[in-house]
Amino acid sequence: MSAVPHPANPHSPLPPGSTFTPGDWQLLARQWHPVANASKITGAPSKATLLDEALVVYRVKGEVVVARDVCPHRGVPLSMGSHDEEGVVCPYHGLRFGAGGRCNRIPSSPNQAIPAKLNLATYPAVERYGLVWVCLAPDADSPAPLPVMPHWDDAGFQQINCPGFDINGFAGRQVEGFLDVAHFAWIHTDTFADPDNQLVPDYTTVETEHGFRADYISSVSNYSEGFRHLAPADFAWLRRFETHLPFTASLTIHFPGEQRLVILNCASPVSARKTRLFVPIARNFNLEQPVEEVHAFNLCIFEEDRAMVELQRPERLPLDMALEAHIPADRSSIAYRRGLKKMGFGEFFLV
Amino acid sequence: MIDAMSRQGAGNVAVELMRADGAALPAFEAGAHVDVHLPGGLIRQYSIASPPADRSRYVLCVRREPASRGGSASVHERLRVGQALTISTPRNLFALMPGGHHVLVAGGIGITPLLAMAHQLLAGGASFELHYYVRSRQEIAFLRQLQGELGDRVHLHSAEEGRDARQVLPGALDGAGNDHQLYLCGPAAFMDHITAAAQARGWDASRIHSEAFAPVVPVPSADAAAQDAAFEVQLASSGQVYCVPADRTIAQVLGEAGVPLSLSCEMGICGACLTDVVEGMPDHRDSVQSETEKAGNRQITVCCSRSRSPRLTLAL
Ligand code: FES
Ligand code: FES
Ligand SMILES: [Fe+2]
């Protein structure tokens, strides 16, 4: 993979002030990461940060454009600008950028042909699962695939996108927490778990093409407080976790009957110390429930997790197994760290 | 230091250790063993056969293993009376349990810990019997003690006389009381046979004791069975060879020898201790490597895995 120099620094491919090591940054930059809820991108430019790179995201004629949030003229952030049918307009000298990030108007010389140098530095972007995904440095030889979310497109399933949720912590810690089944009884007792049901039955992980899968069967119900009675007595809950390294994982919860709830946990690495969590949800039951209730319930869960993830030290995730202690409940965490190590990430935590 | 050595039946040599200054040795319980640092850098575990009440000496007894190029050969060929030896303090993984009657069953050189147990039980006035299976009467170790003070509690079974364990089982296995305890020491197949026979006669596993069976590490894999055998580990860097006995892990043995290791879960789930294999065939007991990784035999978890080959050479 050739390292294209960063526009702001001819000597390095990394954005200025990157909080990642160069090796880790390059590995992360070739992956797809979500940067926004697609429904929030109407026309107006909006701001996002991915891997310490400031981005502007806007829509023109239905197409989403993601570019460096720096006007090629004099470096003002385009996310500060306005927009019209033809694109986003820079607040400083009014240059306008439309489809594909191409400059289509120089107000001070309207008849001047527009040189390529004035086009925005754009990145490949796709919309999937209600999110805008971006790849900062695609690897032409082996392009990274987008994660797969079960059931999102299946008949009878409702699609819900929780609002983006900010965490002052490293994405790897958040994802590991999402995969962690031993903490339910300790911090999710106000939402779905039972403080008296702490046991973690043994489970195994199976390597897959882009990560691993773990089928975890336990008696921890996923009904919220007040709806527990809906589960048949002695119901065995199957939670299927499927990771897509580095920072996406899906959880399919098998409710009684054919009822399924799928949660896609997408931790977007704003920096090594900041994460924006995007969570698309698909379900084929409770369809009359207002989505605001779903948002609110999940927000409580995210908050419960956030409190822990922000306190963990070291902030980054130790991939050297000897640096933290491991218990049998951690099989997924162990598989996660091993998977990241295999992808070539460094120790990942020496802040 | 080595105060005396004596032949104890064909193929066995007893080594009597005393402190050079004649002071008392650390106390030990019957069933305990010491790590002996042998000439050539080997470390071997040997059970103490002498009576625990006697702290003036430890008596070990080592059988010459014809196939061995290691510990037993070193004991037989290189140890001499008067020589100084480094040993660890005694450790007991094979302790006597409270019980109304104790059945001690030895196969061959397995007599050593059971002899100390017999002495301790005799001194404590406890009820016990000792069964000693040998190939021929010439191989009997500590014959004088067995015939003397232990006397009528000892039952000798010689295969040559048609009394091997497959033909003659200790009568005490039948009709065991609930507080009877059974202690086994000897070759793995021998112990398997007696264990199976005892269980078939209603002994529950909690009353059957054998050092080799001591579960030191909770091993998740199902094939982790009682067949554990000792093997050698060699360090590729220094060429040092260590013996990993049936009841200890590679990590324990190397750790005690001061070899730096990286450990975390110590139960084969995290992979912190994965070490490159230079030569030999690991017996994977971990659940952290995938089946493909295991089949490749490139790395081993030293906290719980063992060896299928007599020796493993590790990139340490
Ligand atoms: S108990 Fe697991 S982090 Fe504190
Ligand atoms: S220390 Fe965890 S596998 Fe060996
Ligand atoms: Fe959680």
Q: Say what the pLDDT of residue A199 is.
A: 93
Ligand with smallest separation from the Cα of B285 = 2
Q: Say what the pLDDT of residue B187 is.
A: 80
pLDDT tier at B219 (50, 70, 90 boundaries)?
very low
CA atoms within 13 A on the CB side of B256: 19
Q: Say what the pLDDT of residue A172 is.
A: 97
Residues 200-239 of A with CB under 8 A from B: 204, 207
User: Which amino acids bring their CB within 6 angstroms of ligand 2?
Assistant: B 263-266, 268-273, 286, 288, 301, 303
Contact between residue B235 and residue B210 where contact means Cβ atoms under 8 Å apart: no
Amino acid identity of A190? D
Q: Say what the pLDDT of residue B66 is.
A: 65
Stretch A284-310: mean pLDDT, rounded?
96
pLDDT tier at A351 (50, 70, 90 boundaries)?
low
Q: Say what the pLDDT of residue B214 is.
A: 30
Q: Say what the pLDDT of residue A159 is.
A: 98
Place of tokens 């016990």: B128
Summarised one tens digit per residue, pLDDT across range B107-123 is 999 999 999 999 999 99
pLDDT at A117 > cutoff 90: yes
Distances (CA, A) of A196 to A136, A185, B61: 46, 7, 54
Q: Say what the pLDDT of residue B43 is.
A: 66
State phi, psi for B143 to the nearest 5 degrees: -60, -40
pLDDT at A267 > cutoff 90: yes
Q: Say what the pLDDT of residue A308 is.
A: 96
In this structure, the dihedral spanned by the alpha carbons of residues B252, B256, B257 and B263, taken in order and rounded to 10 degrees, is 50
pLDDT at A204 > cutoff 60: yes
Distance, CA A303 to ligand 3 centroid (Å)?
A: 9
Say if B269 is an interface residue toward chain A (CB within 8 Å): yes
Atom 3 in ligand 2: residue holding the nearest Cα = B268
Dihedral (CA of B287, B290, B291, B295) sign: negative
Residues of chain A with pLDDT > 70, as a percent, come to: 99
Q: Say what the pLDDT of residue B68 is.
A: 57
Residues 321-340 of A with CB under 8 A from B: 321-328, 330-331, 334, 338
pLDDT tier at A300 (50, 70, 90 boundaries)?
very high
Say if B143 is an interface residue toward chain A (CB within 8 Å): no
State if pTM tops 0.95: no
pLDDT tier at B220 (50, 70, 90 boundaries)?
very low
- For chain B, where are the alpha helices, taking DSSP H only? 71-78, 111-123, 143-147, 188-200, 250-256, 291-296
pLDDT at B225 > cutoff 50: no
Contact between residue B179 and residue B121 where contact means Cβ atoms under 8 Å apart: no
Stretch B197-210: mean pLDDT, rounded?
83
Euclidean distance between CA atoms A65 and A55, whole angstroms: 10
Contact between residue B13 and residue B7 where contact means Cβ atoms under 8 Å apart: yes
Record: contact A326-B269, CB cut-off 8 A:
yes
pLDDT at B217 > cutoff 80: no
> Greater confidence, A144 or A351?
A144
Q: Say what the pLDDT of residue A350 is.
A: 65
Residue B299: its H or E element: strand B299-301
pLDDT tier at B215 (50, 70, 90 boundaries)?
very low
* Greatest Cα-to-Cα distance within chain B, rounded to the nearest angstrom: 59
Euclidean distance between CA atoms B46 and B59, whole angstroms: 10
Distance, CA A331 to ligand 2 centroid (Å)?
A: 12
For B131, the token pair is 């069964």
Q: Say what the pLDDT of residue A13 is.
A: 85
Q: Say what the pLDDT of residue B227 is.
A: 57
Q: Say what the pLDDT of residue B250 is.
A: 97
Distance, CA A77 to ligand 2 centroid (Å)?
A: 50
Dihedral (CA of A306, A308, A313, A314) sign: negative
**In terms of CA atoms, which chain B residue is nearest residue A212?**
B290
pLDDT tier at B222 (50, 70, 90 boundaries)?
very low
> Greater confidence, B90 or A203?
A203
Summarised one tens digit per residue, pLDDT across range B74-97 is 888 888 898 888 887 787 778 888
Residues of chain B with pLDDT > 90, as a percent, come to: 47
Q: What is the mean pLDDT of chain B?
A: 86
Q: Say what the pLDDT of residue B221 is.
A: 36
Q: Which residues contact B78 (CB under 8 A, 6 or more apart)?
A: B38, B39, B40
Q: How far apart are the first and last CA of chain A?
A: 26
Say if A320 is an interface residue toward chain B (CB within 8 Å): yes
Q: Say what the pLDDT of residue B67 is.
A: 56
Summarised one tens digit per residue, pLDDT across range B240-293 is 999 999 999 999 999 999 999 999 999 999 999 999 999 999 999 999 998 889
pLDDT tier at A134 (50, 70, 90 boundaries)?
very high
Q: How many Cβ pairs closer than 8 A exist between chain A and B?
A: 38
Record: contact B288-A334, CB cut-off 8 A:
yes
**In the structure, how many helices (H) and strands (E) does chain B have?**
6, 18
Stretch A78-102: mean pLDDT, rounded?
97
